[in-house]
Amino acid sequence: MPQQSSPTFFAHFAKLEDQRIDRTKHHQLLDVVFIAVCAVIGGANDFVGMEKFGRSKKEWFKKFLDLPNGIPSHDTFGRIFAALKPEAFCECFLSWIRTLHETTAGELVNIDGKTLRASLDRAKGKNALHVVSAWATANRLCLGQVVVDAKSNEITAIPKLLEMLEVRGAVVTIDAMGCQKDIAAQIVDQGADYVLAVKGNQEHLEEDIINHFADCDESPQLHGKASVHEDHDSKHGREENRYYEARPIPEELRNQNAWKGLKSIVRVTRVYTDKGQPKSETRFFISSLPANAKRLAYAVRGHWGIENDLHWVLDMYFAEDRSRAREGHAAANFALLRRWVLSILRQTKSVTGSMEKKRQQAGWNNATLEAILEGLSDTI
């Protein structure tokens, strides 16, 4: 008899429902999921890779699984991931997250969307999948995801994602798509604060903020001192300076009472060089935090964590933008599987190196892979 692979691992999948009819089940659902997780940890980026990884480590998998019909084919992996309900699979992920993550006061939770370009299927009239994720900046941990059909639906996906999360005490950052009164109210109702990017999608909001800062520039004596902060970056041969100015909500800001908890507005001016040419851009934000420029600068800068540590890594090392998983729910479930594995590897202390090197070590060395699996329940 094989040894029990990981009680904690299987406990997270206890409620996952198998969508197959009994006569077609040649492989146990949890066996397939276990092999898939191990394969993606070890470097597989598609269903063919899962099969090849499984076959190359068949004897190792027999330590944990019965495998009466051997290793599943890539078609089997594809069919099972296409049939799994994304909501149920996501609940398994959240079960794992809850064992190791507890929101702390002031923690940054970034929410942003990403389109899986290769999931577009024109022949079947299917839009490219768009995934909205929540990212804990400090722990570099994906907290959850919601799938939508198009970029315009991100507004409806964000509230669903927030409902799944425990964000009490956190500071939630969202780009301009999520700058909505209902979203701001939901964040406050859940016991968190918000920092929301502002663009021209909210009546007079951006106009009034721009005008107020312009008035302050012309007549600073009439508006009092602002809270200011600046920082500087010099990376990859590019110089960049950012200037932050935070002010309390001005009286002339229209409809301000419609924004629950609103306390401050922020102007961020970025000055940088591009191909030797000096350039600048200015962005505006609203927040339920007091007008403390240094604290707000931390939140604004921290929002890039989801781009740099999640989205970029998914494309660079997990080939997400090239994934052609399209059938049924395969794209959504594989997207979550990538985020799960990325989070596992981010939290793993027993293996060092870049994301690429961690995956290589897990693929090359069975003991390394076992150490990662053993650490699933106690990684933070």
7 pLDDT exceeds 60?
no
377 pLDDT exceeds 60?
no
Cβ-in-10-Å burial (0-12, 13-18, 19+) of 176 comes to middle
Per-residue pLDDT of 9-48, as tens digits, reads 677 787 788 888 777 788 999 999 999 999 999 999 999 9
Q: Are strands 129-136 and 141-148 parallel, antiparallel or unpaired?
A: antiparallel
**Which backbone phi and psi does 223 adopt, to 5 degrees?**
-115, -5
Give the pLDDT confidence score for residue 173 in this predicted structure: 97
Q: C-alpha angle with apex 16: 14 to 17, nearest 5 degrees?
A: 125
Using 50, 70 and 90 to split pLDDT, how confident is the model at 380? very low
Counted residue by residue, the chain has a size of 380
Alpha-carbon dihedral angle through residues 268, 271, 274, 279, given to the nearest 10 degrees:
90
Give the pLDDT confidence score for residue 357 in this predicted structure: 95
Measured in whole angstroms, the distance separating CA 243 from the mean position of its chain's CA atoms is 27
Tokens of 260: 């629950």
Range with lowest mean pLDDT among 140-154, 265-279, 301-315: 140-154
Q: Residue 236's CB: how many other CB atoms inside 10 A?
A: 5
CA distance 141 to 347: 8
- Judge contact between 113 and 176, C-beta under 8 A: no
Per-residue pLDDT of 77-129, as tens digits, reads 999 999 999 999 998 888 888 776 676 778 999 999 998 888 877 777 778 88
CA distance 152 to 157: 10
Rounded mean pLDDT, 1-9: 52
Give the pLDDT confidence score for residue 379 in this predicted structure: 41
Amino acid letter, residue 105:
A
Residue extents of the structural domains in the chain: 7-97+326-377, 196-292
Tokens of 110: 């970034």
Give the pLDDT confidence score for residue 213 in this predicted structure: 96
Q: Output the average pLDDT for the chain.
A: 89
144 pLDDT exceeds 50?
yes
175 pLDDT exceeds 70?
yes
